[in-house]
């Protein structure tokens, strides 16, 4: 019994020593390599982001910091996502309806979008609205809610932009 234990301990130490050596050598080498590969991978990813199959919603022809007239027809579009009217509270995966907040921020995922200022629901499945905004800076959030008007956990399913509204031309 005593002899056996001693033997086992001896062989365990040996195994540990053998394991440590190659691990230490590998660690330094792979770190370098991983860093390099990661940077390249990120760049590739950014270039393909526009068509990676991820769901996305956006204001049509309206970029962040754009200058717009006071009276504007806002249009929304979706990629890889189905826009549907609100049913009887049914939640269909990969589908929902638009909401906008005028001078309000987008919401975190999992929140039921209020039916109150600053939010407007497009529960009929429509994708545009005619707005009159006062001159100056305004913040617009476009955000998807599901059949229960609940925000979804996909970064592409909301867009938050700032617009400059021109002073109305004197008539
Ligand atoms: Cu809604």
**Per-residue pLDDT tens for 37-79?**
444 444 444 444 456 899 999 999 999 999 999 999 999 999 9
Q: Residue 169: CB partners within 8 Å, gap ≥ 6?
A: none
Q: Residue with structure tokens 């890889």?
A: 80
Q: Residue 89: CB partners within 8 Å, gap ≥ 6?
A: 147, 148
Q: How far apart are CA 38 and CA 45, in angstroms?
A: 11
User: Ligand 1 center to residue 58 CA distance, Å?
Assistant: 17
Largest CA distance in the chain: 106
User: Ligand 1 center to residue 139 CA distance, Å?
Assistant: 19
Three-class SS state of 148:
coil
Confidence (pTM): 0.70
User: Ligand 1 center to residue 54 CA distance, Å?
Assistant: 21
């Amino acid at each position: 019994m005593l002899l056996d234990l001693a033997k086992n301990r001896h062989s365990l130490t040996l195994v540990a020593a053998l394991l440590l050596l190659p691990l230490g050598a590998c660690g330094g080498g792979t770190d370098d390599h991983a860093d390099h590969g990661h940077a390249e991978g990120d760049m590739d990813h950014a270039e393909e982001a526009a068509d990676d199959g991820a769901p996305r919603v956006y204001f049509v022809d309206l970029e962040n910091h754009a200058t717009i007239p006071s009276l504007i027809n806002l249009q929304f579009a979706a990629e890889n996502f189905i826009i549907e009217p609100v049913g009887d509270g049914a939640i269909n995966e990969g589908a929902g309806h638009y909401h906008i907040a005028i001078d309000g921020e987008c919401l975190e995922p999992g929140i039921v979008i209020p039916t109150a200022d600053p939010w407007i629901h497009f529960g009929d499945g429509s994708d545009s609205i005619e707005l009159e905004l006062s001159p100056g800076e305004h913040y617009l959030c476009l955000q998807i809610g599901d059949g229960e008007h609940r925000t979804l956990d996909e970064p592409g399913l909301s867009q938050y932009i700032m617009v400059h509204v021109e002073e109305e031309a004197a008539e």
